[in-house]
């Protein structure tokens, strides 16, 4: 029980710190593509959506709230990487990649692979455990 009261053992603190550091590492490798890791992830999740995906469904896939996603979408929309249009229900907006978004994603994938390979190498034998644990945490 004693460890439960130590700030350094805080699940939220440690996950957020690790996420920031991993994001910074991916950002550094992705820099030549002009995409941030968060933008790359957004485009990668959108790529298979074809004609588009509702903002609420996209937020769920990314584990983000709609407000944060809307702010992130505004940045990539201004850059011409995604388009937003009304869905069948006018209260719903659909998001899809533009041709420029697909091109940016294709150009960034080799850089992402480099960052991913570095992450796997650094974790070594713990890579599988890392994936299992992060997926488990996300499912909670």
In CATH, the architecture of 35-138 is Orthogonal Bundle (1.10)
Q: What is the pLDDT of residue 47?
A: 95
The mean per-residue pLDDT over the stretch 21-27 comes to 96
- Tokens 């850089």 belong to 111
- Tokens 């659909």 belong to 94
Tokens standing for residue 29: 């490798």
Across the chain, the runs of DSSP E, i.e. the strands, are: 53-54, 82-86, 93-97
Q: What is the pTM of this model?
A: 0.88
- Chain segment 31-90, per-residue pLDDT in tens: 999 999 999 999 999 999 888 999 999 999 999 999 999 999 999 999 999 999 998 888
Q: How confident is the model at residue 4 (pLDDT cuts 50, 70, 90)?
A: low
- Chain segment 92-135, per-residue pLDDT in tens: 999 999 999 999 999 999 999 999 999 999 999 999 999 999 99
């Amino acid at each position: 029980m004693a460890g439960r009261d130590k700030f350094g053992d805080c699940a939220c603190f440690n996950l957020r710190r690790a996420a920031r550091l991993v994001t910074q590492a991916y950002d550094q490798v992705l820099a030549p593509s002009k995409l941030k890791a968060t933008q790359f992830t957004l485009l990668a999740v959108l790529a298979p959506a074809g004609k588009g995906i509702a903002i609420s469904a996209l937020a769920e896939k990314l584990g983000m709230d709609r407000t944060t996603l809307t702010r992130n979408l505004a940045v990539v929309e201004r850059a011409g990487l995604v388009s937003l249009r009304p869905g069948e229900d006018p209260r719903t907006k659909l998001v899809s990649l533009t041709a420029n978004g697909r091109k940016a994603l294709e150009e960034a994938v080799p850089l992402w692979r480099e960052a991913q390979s570095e992450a796997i190498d650094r974790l070594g034998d713990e890579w599988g455990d890392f994936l299992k644990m992060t997926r488990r945490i996300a499912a909670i």
